[in-house]
Amino acid sequence: MIHGLLQLLLFQALGEVISAFIIPFIPGPVVGLVLLLAFLGWRGRVPPSMELVGGGILQHLGLLFVPASVGVVMFWPLLKENALAVSAALLLSVVATIFVTALVLKRLAPPAAQDEHAP
Amino acid sequence: MRPELPPIHEIWVYLAGSPLFALVLTLGAYALGLAVYERTQRNPLANPVLIAVVLVAAGLVLAGMPYQRYFEGAQFVHFLLGTATVSLAIPIYKGWASVKGRLGALTLAMAAGGVTSIVVAVGVLKALGADEALVRGMWAKSVTAPIAMGIAERVQASPTLTAIFAVSTGVLGAVLGRFVLNAAGVTAWWQRGFALGVAAHGIGTSRAFSVHPVAGAYASLGMGLHGVVSAVLLPVVLMQLG
């Protein structure tokens, strides 16, 4: 487990350094993600301890959003003033995004017979 | 002889000054949110993140603690977002084998979805005359929150506002996804999952996993691809627009 955590943190640190000094417009963790992807492709498998740690973190991804989202208390007056516009924008945008993505995918890659389907 | 306990307000001052209060509040609220989610048979409306945010915000108001103080403690949880972003490489890598032949279609669908997300959100906000700060925060909101916040910092938007929009988007997508996909007549699990991952990132992905494993795997892929591509392209696009 320690190995997995160490590897993930190392890729994160490497990503941060590259982002800070070479490609400042891409966030460090994204650089780390791409580097880790390349590493996994080169290794040909996911090390079990990394799978354990990474899987655990991703399973509770939601928890990690909480501290930043609580910032909603700071923006409450601004959000309240624009409540209708914000709700409409969020709602219409996500519905349209799901609809367009799914339809384009269906049109471009008709599902094969062996694919599993929703009832 | 029993040592005399200090008065309660001294204990409180001590606790409030350490990261413990913020950490316990955050984890406790999330644990409660998870319990409610499980108890309601994973009803998407009982989203654990949503519940946790409401509870923590209420707790801060009750305790009279400013957000900045809370965040000083909660930043240990917040820090892991970066590690989580790096970890996204794992599901992307594992999904790769089954994806190869479909990569072109998936990329185009993701691009169409990503553009739709921004155009509709920013368009509606502008049409309804919302504040400019809100419009900036909307740009990266369909991207998974850790990446979205990194992008927000680079395009002079508030990371907090972007995180709020990203989480709201995730919850809405998780709740409405099923109906939208049925209306679109898309039934294959991999296509349903991918659309949910692109539109509603992490929260949509955990929803997809709880419905079907194939949907979950493709949702991770959709979330990861969308995040990486947006992180590279959005700052460039916004720079061009000024």
Question: pLDDT digits over B83-102, tens only?
Answer: 988 998 888 888 777 787 88
- Residues B215, B193: contact at Cβ < 8 Å? yes
Confidence at residue A91, expressed as pLDDT on a 0 to 100 scale: 95
Q: Which residues of B156-173 are buried (b: 16+ CB within 10 A; e: fewer)?
A: ebbbbbbbbbbbbbbbbb
Cβ of A84 under 8 Å from any chain B Cβ? yes
The pLDDT tens digits for B173-195 are: 988 999 999 999 999 999 999 99
My answer on whether B151 and B237 are in the same domain is yes
Q: Do B161 and A75 touch (CB under 8 A)?
A: yes
Q: Does B60 share its domain with B146?
A: no
Collapse the DSSP code of B128 into the 3-class scheme (helix H, G, I; strand E, B; otherwise coil) and give the result.
Answer: coil
Would you kindly state where each structural domain of chain A is located, as residue ranges?
A: 1-65, 71-119
Which pLDDT band holds residue A110 (cuts at 50, 70, 90)?
A: confident
Min Cα–Cα distance to chain A from B210, Å:
11
Residue numbers in B near A81 (CB within 8 A): 131
Top-confidence residue, B204 or B44: B204
- Domain of residue B64: give its range: 1-84
Interchain contact, B164 vs A75, CB within 8 Å: yes
pLDDT at B74: 92
Domain boundary residue, one of B32, B52, B84? B84
Q: Which of B202, B167, B174, B4 is nearest to B85 (CA)?
A: B202
Q: What pLDDT does B103 receive?
A: 87
Q: Could you tell me if B227 and B161 lie in one domain?
A: yes
Instruction: Provide the percentage of residues in chain B whose pLDDT is more than 70.
Output: 95
Do B23 and B108 belong together in one domain?
no
B199: nearest Cα among B174, B179, B178: B174
Q: What is the mean pLDDT of chain A?
A: 90
Token pair 């990132």 in the structure block, residue: B201
Q: Which pLDDT value is given to residue A3?
A: 93
Chain B residue with Cα closest to A51: B90
In this structure, are B28 and B133 located in the same domain?
no
Write out chain A residues lying below 8 Å of B232, CB-based.
26, 30
Query: Residue B242 has what pLDDT?
Result: 61
Of the partner residues A41, A67, A75, the one whose CB lies closest to the CB of residue B75: A67
Across the interface, whether the CB atoms of B81 and A28 are under 8 A apart is answered no
pLDDT higher than 70, residue B1: no
B21 shares a domain with B96: no
Which residues of chain A make contact with B67, given a CB cutoff of 8 A? 70-71, 73-74
Cα-to-chain-centroid distance, residue A22: 23
Is pLDDT above 90 for B240?
no
- Do B15 and B106 fall within a single domain? no
Residue B127 and residue B43 in one domain: no
Q: In chain B, which residue's Cα lies nearest the Cα of A14?
A: B86
| Domains in chain B, number | 2
Q: Give the domain-ending residue among B84, B105, B126.
A: B84
Q: What angle do CA B231, B233, B239 make, to 5 degrees?
A: 110
Contacts of B145 in chain A (CB under 8 A): 64-65, 68
B21 and B56, same domain (yes or no): yes
pLDDT one-digit tens code per residue, A11-70: 999 999 998 899 887 888 889 999 999 999 999 999 999 999 998 888 888 888 889 889
Does B121 lie in the same domain as B75?
no
Tens-digit pLDDT profile for residues B43-95: 878 888 889 999 999 999 998 889 989 999 998 998 998 898 899 888 888 87
Q: Which of B50, B68, B84 is a domain's end point?
A: B84
Q: Are residues B121 and B168 in the same domain?
A: yes
In total, the C-beta contacts within 8 angstroms joining chain A to chain B are: 341
Q: Distance, in angstroms, between B39 CA and closest chain A CA?
A: 17
Q: CA of B238: which chain A residue's CA is closest?
A: A25
Residues B110-137 have a mean pLDDT of 89
CB B69 within 8 A of CB B61: no
Compute CA distances B218 → B176, B190, B212, B226, whole Å.
18, 6, 10, 12
Q: State yes or no: pLDDT of B25 exceeds 80.
A: yes
